[in-house]
Homo-oligomer: A and B are copies of this chain.
């Protein structure tokens, strides 16, 4: 049901955030849910945007960066200049992500090494205990 409508607390509980957070995201221009009087009505598209924002956060993006990237996903009808500028931004972002991937892989390798040292130390302790 892609045309389902979500209340603010529906989305809040689903994504394990507070209503305040969703209002804040709207205030910052990351969301623009429909209204019925005062109440916010979140669409499926809004829900996807929330998921993208949270993924961005997990990657260490600021809300502003997330907003920019999410806006990339909806090119709309642009002129050539805008498209070129967008391609440039995509290249920049790609570079950032590339170094981040490299950094994460490094950290992972080092954790492997530390883990190996830990297990070796434990092994040694056990051998000493049974000697």
Which of these binds chain B: A13-21, A35-43, A112-120? A112-120
Partner of A114 from B80, B90, B107 at Cβ < 8 Å = B90
Partner of A87 from B72, B73, B75, B115 at Cβ < 8 Å = B115
- Asked whether A94 and B118 contact (CB < 8 A) given A59-B100, A100-B58, A104-B59, the answer is no
> Cβ of A64 < 8 Å from any Cβ of B?
no
Main secondary structure on A side of the interface with B: helix
> Cβ of A45 < 8 Å from any Cβ of B?
no
Give the CA-CA distance A105 to B103 in the complex, in Å: 14
Interface residues on A, range: 35 or more
**Could you give, for residues 68-103 of chain A, a 1 whenever the CB lies within 8 Å of some chain B CB and a 0 otherwise?**
010011010010100110110010011001011101
Interface residues of A in 35-73 (CB under 8 A from B): 55-56, 58-61, 69, 72-73
CB <8 Å contact, A108 and B118: no
6 nearest A-B residue pairs (beta carbon)? A60-B60, A83-B118, A55-B103, A90-B115, A90-B111, A59-B103
